């Protein structure tokens, strides 16, 4: 009996949750789901209510008379899911948030009186580019950003079609449609003529809308100007007359153009709202139904999850269509998906990020990940390092797999450009030692960040003569805290670099200086003004601004090496591993003097520390899995508390609540 009840409950909750997820159209490219039920189990509502960020936002929602201090009184269903998604189309981009509600009347009570009247009639609120729909179980808020570039293109085409006169400053310039309305710049959008002419009613609707609004006043106005200026006194200064006439005509033409464009946008907006409302009433083409991968992701249990499908965003990879191999790459990239699950644990926050590709690309990823992390690089992490990242891409293997998989596809193509690409690729492959090339790039590399360290730098100062107060420039030094960054690269051809250094030193003095076991780069290639050092030890190259590494630890920090337990984790990882200890970050920010009141800053953020581990956890046949683990300190019951407190402090410091940052 208990089992039946439990099954019914699960079925009920799934159906209910599904109802919100079903309101995601299949045209979106980014989705985020937050399981509010799971969140409030991690941080109870009574604790959430205590955060200043919540209190302050609640007070802004209500007037003093109806002040509330409990978010559960908002009418939101905290046992359901909050969903947000982003859509990107040629005409617009939009962000939608679906808030689950359990008490519609209570929820509506927080809107303005006028809005409440609309919502009580079950009508949507349409304000500027916002559409708010409050249904029985959810509130849907959509913010639409209309792309003026698209509409300016449409308007221009309509002007061309109707042989209407365009303003003079509207012209085609280096691939951009440009009209100089107060320096507003319109990017060119690719205009799909077919789509345009398919909608036969469209032009008529625009014309109707336009003439309804303007009642032919614009055209009459232009005629009036012609008449007015043709009747001018002949003695009138010709130049001024021409200038005034032109300026006035331009003004009218620009106004007319803008009005036509406004009409087009008005029609589009109207149609979009109708389509949007129709979808929410009958969400047939929803993502859950039409995308099996999203369905699988959505069914997983986690505190929050995201889903990203770049193929649904026309702005991404758009340019790829126009380059050689473009179509081929475009099709390949269109199979890429990313999704992630975020969970709050008692230790902190765990994010499992998945990158999915085509099976062909999966083969390449597997080959790239087949190399092991180079353990001998790890000894170059000093014990004072705040973080490091190590990776080893088997680039030779990846290249061979890439060739094996994709070259036959290109060879079999019917596209001349792809066939030419295949021919060039085969030629390069025949004549160049790709194994040697791929052994250099990308390299087996370790990057370390060792915090801020004082470095002696030179500056100019002035010395004053007490007799005359004449002053002279003198070279002095000062200490400055600089972030210490090191790159350690393993490459069997490291000796080549040393050959170049020797040659450069002979060719030009003052660029590189040879010390006992390392080189100092005297002429700062980055023009920052800090010294850099190079060292080459067998097949290891060290590039750093931390002199301690090359001066005293050329063989590695053996006796003062980094935490051994982290070494073990790094050794187990595949292809990539990074570790970051954030316990010093607040102190470093305070040292840099970014905030005026360092005490206040430290009191807020000193305990918001965590250790972060990021690695490639596994590689499947078409999927690479990343794991991000944020271990907070023991002060926090779980990762959600840590995140809430961090958000709270950032909110407070940005709003100057401490008084340390007078506005």
Partner 1 sequence: MVKIFKYFVFLVLPMGLSSCFELIEDTTLNADGSGNYKLTLNLSASTTRINSIMAMDSVDGKKVPSRNELNTEFQKHLKKLEAKEGISNVSGSINTENWIVKVDLNFKSLAELKEGMIALSKEINKHKSSENINEVQLSYQDNLYTRKFGEFIPEKWQNQIKSDQDFSRLNEGKCVFIQRFDREVSEVSSKEARISKSKKAVMLQLSPTEIVNHPEKLDYTIKTAP
Smallest separation, CB 103 to partner 1 (Å): 43
Segment near partner 1 (CB under 8 A); pick from 33-41, 59-67, 179-187, 453-461: 453-461
Smallest separation, CB 549 to partner 1 (Å): 14
What's the Cα-to-Cα distance from 288 to each of 294, 307, 622, rounded to whole Å?
A: 6, 12, 22
SS3 state at 267: helix
- Work out whether 525 is an interface residue with partner 1 (CB under 8 A): yes
- Work out whether 468 is an interface residue with partner 1 (CB under 8 A): yes
Nearer to partner 1, 430 or 467 (CB): 467
- Work out whether 292 is an interface residue with partner 1 (CB under 8 A): no
Among 97, 447, 612, 650, binds partner 1 (CB under 8 A): 447
What are phi and psi for residue 433, nearest 5 degrees? Answer: -75, 95
CA distance 14 to 12: 5
Smallest separation, CB 588 to partner 1 (Å): 8
Smallest separation, CB 598 to partner 1 (Å): 10
Among 74, 139, 398, 445, binds partner 1 (CB under 8 A): 445
What's the Cα-to-Cα distance from 207 to each of 201, 218, 421, rounded to whole Å?
A: 10, 13, 49
Q: Which two tokens stand for residue 169?
A: 């400053």
Report 412-441 residues binding partner 1 (CB under 8 A).
none
Q: Which residue has the tokens 């200043």?
A: 52
- Work out whether 662 is an interface residue with partner 1 (CB under 8 A): yes
CA distance 95 to 90: 15
- Work out whether 457 is an interface residue with partner 1 (CB under 8 A): yes
Among 51, 595, 605, 644, binds partner 1 (CB under 8 A): 595
Quote the longest CA-to-CA distance of the chain: 104
Q: What is the DSSP letter of 329?
A: H
Smallest separation, CB 534 to partner 1 (Å): 12
What's the Cα-to-Cα distance from 389 to each of 451, 487, 494, 561, 637, rounded to whole Å?
A: 14, 10, 21, 15, 29
Segment near partner 1 (CB under 8 A); pick from 60-68, 296-304, 313-321, 593-601: 593-601
Q: Are 351 and 341 in contact (CB under 8 A)?
A: yes
Q: Which two tokens stand for residue 122?
A: 């079950």
Q: Which two tokens stand for residue 15?
A: 């159906």
Segment near partner 1 (CB under 8 A); pick from 114-122, 426-434, 574-582, 587-595: 587-595
Residues in contact with partner 1, total (CB under 8 A)? 41
Among 176, 185, 464, 495, binds partner 1 (CB under 8 A): 464
Q: Are 109 and 116 in contact (CB under 8 A)?
A: yes
Nearer to partner 1, 196 or 661 (CB): 661
- Work out whether 543 is an interface residue with partner 1 (CB under 8 A): yes
- Work out whether 449 is an interface residue with partner 1 (CB under 8 A): yes
The dihedral of CA 620, 342, 30, 299: what is its sign?
A: positive
Among 240, 526, 568, 654, binds partner 1 (CB under 8 A): 526
DSSP E strands, 515-587: 519-521, 532-537, 540-544, 574-581
Smallest separation, CB 313 to partner 1 (Å): 24
Q: How far from the centroid of its chain's Cα atoms is residue 629's Cα?
A: 20
Cis amide bond preceding 442, omega within 30:
yes
What are phi and psi for residue 384, nearest 5 degrees? Answer: -90, 5
Q: Tell me the per-residue interface mask from 472 to 491 with partner 1, x by CB under 8 A, - otherwise.
A: ------x-x-xx-x-x-x--
- Work out whether 471 is an interface residue with partner 1 (CB under 8 A): yes
What's the Cα-to-Cα distance from 579 to each of 142, 447, 566, 610, rounded to whole Å?
A: 39, 10, 8, 11
Within 10 A of 290 (CB to CB), how many other CB atoms are there? Answer: 13
Nearer to partner 1, 113 or 475 (CB): 475
Among 136, 499, 506, 663, binds partner 1 (CB under 8 A): 663
Which residues are at the interface with partner 1 (CB under 8 A)? 443, 445, 447, 449, 457-462, 464, 466-469, 471, 478, 480, 482-483, 485, 487, 489, 525-530, 543, 545, 589, 591-596, 661-663
């Amino acid at each position: 009996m208990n089992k039946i009840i439990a099954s019914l409950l699960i079925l009920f909750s799934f159906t209910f949750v599904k109802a919100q997820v079903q309101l995601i159209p299949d045209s979106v490219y980014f989705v985020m789901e937050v399981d509010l039920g799971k969140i409030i189990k991690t941080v109870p509502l009574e604790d959430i209510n205590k955060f200043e960020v919540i209190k302050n936002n609640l007070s802004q929602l209500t007037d003093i008379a109806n002040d509330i201090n409990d978010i559960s009184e908002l009418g939101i269903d905290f046992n359901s899911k909050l969903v947000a998604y982003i859509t990107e189309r040629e005409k617009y981009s939009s962000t939608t948030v679906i808030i689950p509600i359990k008490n519609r009347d209570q929820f509506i009570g927080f809107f303005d009186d006028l809005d409440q009247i609309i919502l009580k009639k079950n009508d949507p609120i349409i304000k500027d580019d916002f559409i708010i729909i409050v249904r029985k179980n959810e509130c849907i808020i959509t913010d639409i950003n209309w792309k003026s570039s698209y509409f300016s293109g449409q308007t221009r085409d309509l002007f061309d079609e109707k042989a209407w006169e365009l303003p003079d400053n509207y012209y085609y310039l280096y691939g951009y449609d440009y009209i100089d309305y107060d320096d507003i710049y319109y990017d060119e959008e690719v205009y799909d003529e077919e789509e345009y002419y398919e909608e036969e009613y469209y032009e008529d609707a625009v014309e109707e809308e336009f003439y309804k609004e303007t009642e032919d006043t614009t055209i009459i106005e232009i005629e009036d100007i012609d008449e007015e200026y043709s009747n001018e006194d002949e003695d009138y200064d010709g130049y001024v007359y021409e200038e005034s006439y032109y300026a006035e005509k331009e003004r009218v033409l620009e106004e007319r153009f803008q009005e036509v464009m406004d009409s087009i946008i008005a029609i589009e907006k109207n149609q979009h709202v109708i389509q949007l409302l129709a979808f929410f009433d009958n969400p047939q083409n929803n993502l859950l139904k039409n995308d099996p991968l999203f369905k699988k992701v959505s069914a997983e249990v986690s505190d929050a999850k995201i889903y990203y499908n770049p193929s649904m965003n026309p702005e991404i990879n758009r340019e790829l269509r126009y380059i050689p191999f473009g179509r081929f790459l475009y099709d390949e990239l269109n199979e890429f998906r990313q999704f992630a699950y975020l969970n709050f644990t008692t230790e902190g926050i765990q994010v499992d990020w998945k990158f999915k590709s085509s099976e062909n690309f999966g083969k390449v990823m597997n080959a790239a990940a087949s190399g092991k992390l180079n353990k001998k690089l790890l000894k170059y992490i000093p014990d004072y390092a705040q973080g490091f990242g190590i990776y080893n891409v088997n680039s030779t293997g990846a290249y061979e797999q890439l060739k094996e998989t994709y070259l036959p596809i290109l060879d079999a193509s019917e596209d001349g450009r792809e066939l030419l690409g295949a021919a060039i690729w085969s030629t390069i492959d025949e004549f160049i030692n790709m194994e040697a090339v791929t052994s250099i790039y990308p390299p087996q590399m370790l990057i370390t960040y060792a915090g801020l360290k004082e470095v002696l730098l030179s500056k100019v100062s002035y010395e004053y003569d007490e007799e005359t107060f004449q002053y002279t420039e003198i070279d002095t030094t000062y200490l400055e805290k600089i972030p210490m960054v090191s790159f350690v690269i393993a490459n069997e051809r490291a000796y080549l670099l040393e050959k170049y250094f020797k040659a450069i030193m002979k060719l030009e003095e003052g660029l590189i200086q040879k010390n006992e076991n390392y080189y100092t780069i005297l002429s700062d290639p980055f023009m920052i003004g800090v010294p850099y050092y190079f060292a080459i030890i067998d097949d290891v190259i060290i590039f750093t601004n931390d002199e301690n590494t090359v001066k005293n630890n050329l063989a590695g920090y053996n006796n003062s090496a980094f935490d051994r337990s982290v070494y073990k984790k790094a050794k187990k990882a595949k292809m990539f591993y990074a570790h970051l200890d954030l316990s010093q970050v607040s102190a470093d920010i305070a040292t840099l003097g970014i905030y005026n009141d360092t005490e206040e800053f430290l009191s807020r953020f000193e305990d918001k520390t965590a250790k972060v581990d990021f690695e490639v956890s596994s590689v499947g046949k078409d999927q690479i899995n990343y794991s991000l683990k944020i271990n907070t300190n023991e002060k926090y019951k779980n990762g959600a508390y840590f995140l809430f407190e961090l958000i709270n402090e950032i909110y407070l410091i940005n709003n100057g609540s401490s008084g340390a940052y007078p506005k």
